Structure 1
Amino acid sequence: MATISDIAEQANISIATVSRILNYDASLSVTEATKRKVFETAEALNYTKYKTKKHQKRKSSKRTKAAEKNIALFQWRQGDEEFDDLYYMSIRIGAEKAAQQLGYNLIKGDTESDALKSVVGSICIGKFDEQTIKKIVKLSDNAVFIGTNFPLQNFDTINSDYEQAAELAIEHLIQLGHQKIAFIGAEEHDNLHGYRPYRTPVVNTYRDIMQYYQLFDEHYFFVDTNARLSVSLGETLTKQALASWGDELPTAILAANDAMAIGVMNELAAQQIKVPETISVVGINDLSFARYLNPPLTTVKTFTEEMGEVSVWRYYKNELKTRQLLNGLF
């Protein structure tokens, strides 16, 4: 496991600056390029998939077998937008590492470009709306989407089990004795498919479990139904929640993801409410920077890098099958 010192040394940035960036310190004035360098370095240093000798050996043998091919990479969150939710950055890094190992080139996807005629397929990271999905599939029906919840339409999808993640988080808090468990989150309905009032697994699982245990209290439920999950939104919703709660504070808060959890913790700290002494905070995703927060964030693991890897391995396995068929014919 990499330390803040390792990240600072690799990125050539001071330990203090790295720490403040990883904690989303709003008072710190640094360029977006510096932020990106720190977060990407943290992800890379904690990326362990190909670090053993066994994997390195397999890497060299497979690169000689895999022809150089292009895969279009479509990103829902691009550029500085990735800082809002590093979940997608982590998936992208996983895809890039696997592509490098297997001899593929990831090229920027563009639904208006004719250049995609030469690609073997598309990897699409994020919650694309239905119109964009149709455009991408029309360009290349050999597509895999990571993180979309739209029904299958001639494409594969890769998703984490967020119902289970939310269940693990809530059951953990209940076992610790918590009953006043608040929820702070958000949904972007334009990018979600479904007919329930709330459309994301985490939100619905929280409601279902808390109602099952007869612990659900609308007073402790804060969800923005048309907003991006981000640190700043976590701060805003927590500020609103604290004003509403007054002296009736919950003993724990489940945030929709790690970015929101950081916003929650930042606002609690700003109002001098101690974590976890007064309120425990739990996130979901276990992104690499969670362990560097002060205090470290309790979070449920989702395998983001592996999701990116699987999307690339899909094309490699299809390539192997095609070779086997051709060898059988000729």
Structure 2
Amino acid sequence: MTQIDLIPDEPRPLTRMARMLWADKFALVAALFLLVVLVLALIGPWWLDAVAQKQNLRGRNAPPFEWERGWLWVLGADALGRPLLARIIVAAQNTMLVAAGAVIGSAIMGTVLGLVAGYAGRRTGMVIMRLADVIMSFPSLLLAVVVLYILGPSVVNLVIVLAITRIPVYLRTTRAEVMEIRERMFVQAAEVMGASAPRIIFRHILPVVLPTLMTIATLDFAFVMLAESALSFLGIGIQPPEITWGLMIAQGKQYLTNAWWLSFWPGLAIILTTLSLNLLSNWMRIALDPTQRWRLEMRQTKTEVKA
């Protein structure tokens, strides 16, 4: 009688990622916080828009933690008596929308140009890289200030400007990765078998580059969100009656001496979101790298053994 050793099946990719996320508690808390922010950004305007816009001059600059007013006033009220908690929840949508739109737009454009620049001939690559040099020759925030001053502040213009300024980040990274990957054996084998250039680029090279780009996009999301907040603080970002966290800080700066909470709470929301994005990006850098992934897997194994 033959004895067959049963080899346990490998966990599915999503299950494996969930286990590695559970092994890093800081990244787990960051992911849960970002999930809450995302949910609030989706349902916030539908849920609390009327409350966030309703003025109550009797409660202007009301201090935080006055529970008798209700839970929406736990963070206090602004100069027009509107509850800060409701306004922060509603403002999350515009803040996330601008950041996500800019990151997705710049990532797509930069990745496509980087793939072409890295795989195509030297002349084509040099032309594309000169385009990146032109964009990078201008400070991103200064370029955004000039363009928004000319075109006028709006959500669309803000997304376009921030996306353009971030294209070189993805372009240069993708080109460097492609120039290294195209010399590997599996790419050369695909070329010998007669695969077309688009198939090689998008079928064989892009999946290898994608984990690096995802990590950069997570970090870039935090940078774009801070840039949007800075532009709104300067008064050339999104304008009232629309609202973002940066605009809330700008509206509260004149009351810092007697109503610090007007700028503190939206600023804290920006800090916590940015910190969570950085923690999650650090986890993704390890989890998506086959040479570093063992650290999280070993930590998870130790946790299971102790349990």
TM-score (norm 2): 0.25
Under a length normalisation based on structure 1, what TM-score does the superposition of the two structures give? 0.24
Name which structure has the greater RCO, CA cutoff 8 Å, separation 6+: 2
Which has more helix, going by share of residues?
2
Higher strand share: 1
